[in-house]
Chain A
Amino acid sequence: MAKKTQKKLTAWEIVQLARHAERPNITAYIEAMCDDFIELHGDRLFGDDRSLIGGFATIGNERVVLIGHRKGSSVEENIEANFGMASPEGYRKAMRLMKLAEKYSLPVVSLVDTPGAYPGSEAEANGQAEAIAHNLEFMARLKTPVVVVVCGEGGSGGALGIAVGDRILMLENAVYSVISPEGCASILWRDGSQAPLAAETLKITAEHLLELGVIDSIISEPAGGAHKKPAAAIASVKKAILKELAELGKLTLDDLIEQRYQKFAAMGRF
């Protein structure tokens, strides 16, 4: 409740919190939220992307397939994780694991935290666009519940590539955007230093996304941001995931998939 008395943060301040080096990353979530985690590697086609990981996980009493972008906690880890910028093999691995989830009737939990899909020449050659596109198409019809949590940065197509689900949750200080504020500022303002203004204009905060009907609910963070009290922040995320999984579990698969279709079909109808 202390939060209520705090000064309202600007969009640009929230961007800084979303990108904070000490903000809990997927490794922290797995350690604090999962009683068990078996990482599953590789896309069976090309390689094993260290920027997008996944596997079997137990959250509370729920066995799930967990996937998510990976940022590191140190420079070495961040280099290995490519700062959370996934390549086509990462998106294809995610699809492979989601197919397993469907086969074993396990729900999918997807943790989003990426500046964007990796804009490298090899990623282009290996079909970054195709890999993301196929995930969008596949996730729209996946025959198992999918809960998405935007934990930090929701960077454009690279985020969306694992973010089509039945429930889209977002942390209070996460952002989710079609383009980075810096990118938007340099294109539409011809001046990268206008990023704070672009951040405001693009409406990328959880509050705005809830208003726009893009997300379903906001998960509160400890005062000052998730990095101030990671255990408390992760506990809130865990609680929210379990609540959504319990509700989605009551739906028949046909209803689940039709409701997911209608949810996305309604986006952008005003």
Chain B
Amino acid sequence: MAWFENPAQEPLRVPTAALWAVCPKCNTYVAKAEWADACKVCPKCDHHARLNCRERVQLLTDIGTFEEINAAVSVNDPLKFKDASGSYAAKSQAAIQKTGMGEAVLTGTCAIEGSDVVLCVMDFAFMGGSLGSGTGERILLAAEKAVTLHRPLIIVSASGGARMHEGIVSLMQMAKTCAAIAKVKEAGLPYFSVLTDPTTGGVSASYAMVGDLNIAEPKALIGFAGRRVIEQTIKQKLPDDFQTAEYTMAHGFIDHIVPRKEMKAFLAKILRYAGF
């Protein structure tokens, strides 16, 4: 089983699980109501645990305004891929069952404090948020929708990168999505990229890094190559803060780090600066 096929991190299965959530970072027990109220941000260590995309949509959008688009676009299996642990067809079906999503990104129209936008939200629980052809197609269509409706585009990324099971077709989604983003910018429309934990590989090397503004959640893992690959290449241990949002901002690639609870208000504010 690959890293991105791990089941979603769940609180420890202890008898108190009905009442308590456990911070996946520091293992602190937090009352479930408090955990939900904090939008899964640990009150002790400030770890921003991963959200699924329904939770993210709820967090960022005005109540009742989100309308999904491109729901009919789903997973393709161009290579008829099979590896040691089974077929991609079976794994993607399992991901669909588990998450209730058709692909690793949810796209739709919505309002953020009254500003109309097109929003894409990735979900790490769907095969590690990997960029498959269905993912790329949904993002391209969402970007085209932004141009048609003359609205800003916002993409919230959470992804390990390209989806190996779709081979070269997955790689091409990087070019495809960036072409669509270029059209949004050409139309004079804002494009904001929100990078959450993790945003790496082929997603960081395509649409996630080319926002008018790149905005990150605190301590999110952001980078191109994996830590182990780099350590093997340079034959040195990397510092703990390597490839964090803070590290990436210090090197000039992130505009602002925004805590989860403040993200909606922040987006609303920059939308107004951008004239929306």
Cβ contact within 8 Å between A124 and B243: yes
Task: For the complex formed, measure the closest distance between the CB of B239 and the CB atoms of chain A, giving whole angstroms.
Answer: 9
Stretch touching chain A among B8-16, B109-117, B199-207, B268-276:
B199-207
Tell me the B215-233 residues at the A interface (CB within 8 Å): 222-226, 229-230, 233
Count of A-B residue pairs with CB < 8 Å = 186
Beta-carbon nearest neighbor of B254 in chain A: A130
Beta-carbon nearest neighbor of A156 in chain B: B171
Cβ contact within 8 Å between A127 and B176: no
Beta-carbon nearest neighbor of A159 in chain B: B171
Stretch touching chain B among A16-24, A115-123, A233-241:
A115-123
Beta-carbon nearest neighbor of A179 in chain B: B164
B134 contact set on A, CB distance < 8 A? 268
Stretch touching chain B among A34-42, A99-107, A196-204, A216-224:
A196-204
Q: How many residues of B contact A (CB 8 A)?
A: 62
Task: For the complex formed, measure the closest distance between the CB of A184 and the CB atoms of chain B, giving whole angstroms.
Answer: 6
Task: For the complex formed, measure the closest distance between the CB of A69 and the CB atoms of chain B, giving whole angstroms.
Answer: 16
Task: For the complex formed, measure the closest distance between the CB of B168 and the CB atoms of chain A, giving whole angstroms.
Answer: 5
Give complex CA distance A191, B210 in Å: 35
Cβ contact within 8 Å between A134 and B210: yes
Q: How large is the interface on A (under 10, 10 to 19, 20 to 34, 35 or more residues)?
A: 35 or more
A160 and B175 in contact (CB under 8 A), knowing A178-B167, A203-B79?
yes
A28 located at the interface, meaning its Cβ lies under 8 Å from any Cβ of chain B in the complex: no
Cross-interface CB contact of B168 among A127, A177, A188, cutoff 8 Å: A177
Beta-carbon nearest neighbor of B136 in chain A: A268
Cβ contact within 8 Å between A264 and B242: no
A56 located at the interface, meaning its Cβ lies under 8 Å from any Cβ of chain B in the complex: no
B242 contact set on A, CB distance < 8 A? 121, 124
B7 located at the interface, meaning its Cβ lies under 8 Å from any Cβ of chain A in the complex: no
A161 contact set on B, CB distance < 8 A? 205
Tell me the A116-148 residues at the B interface (CB within 8 Å): 117-121, 123-130, 132-134, 136-141
Give complex CA distance A270, B182 in Å: 24
Cross-interface CB contact of B172 among A120, A137, A264, cutoff 8 Å: A264
Give complex CA distance A8, B209 in Å: 42
Give complex CA distance A117, B204 in Å: 13
B169 located at the interface, meaning its Cβ lies under 8 Å from any Cβ of chain A in the complex: yes
Proximity bits, B225-269, A CB within 8 Å = 1, else 0: 110011001101010001100000001110000000000000000
A32 located at the interface, meaning its Cβ lies under 8 Å from any Cβ of chain B in the complex: no
Cβ contact within 8 Å between A128 and B225: yes
Cross-interface CB contact of B174 among A123, A160, A188, cutoff 8 Å: A160
Cβ contact within 8 Å between A184 and B164: yes
Cβ contact within 8 Å between B168 and A176: yes
Cβ contact within 8 Å between A214 and B176: no
Rank and list the top 10 A-B pairs by shortest CB-CB distance, nearest first.
Answer: A268-B133, A119-B225, A140-B179, A136-B178, A129-B204, A188-B83, A129-B224, A133-B209, A267-B172, A178-B171
The contact sample of 17 A-B pairs, CB cut-off 8 A, is A119-B230, A120-B230, A120-B233, A120-B234, A121-B236, A123-B224, A127-B209, A140-B175, A156-B202, A157-B171, A157-B201, A160-B171, A194-B84, A203-B167, A261-B179, A267-B136, A267-B173
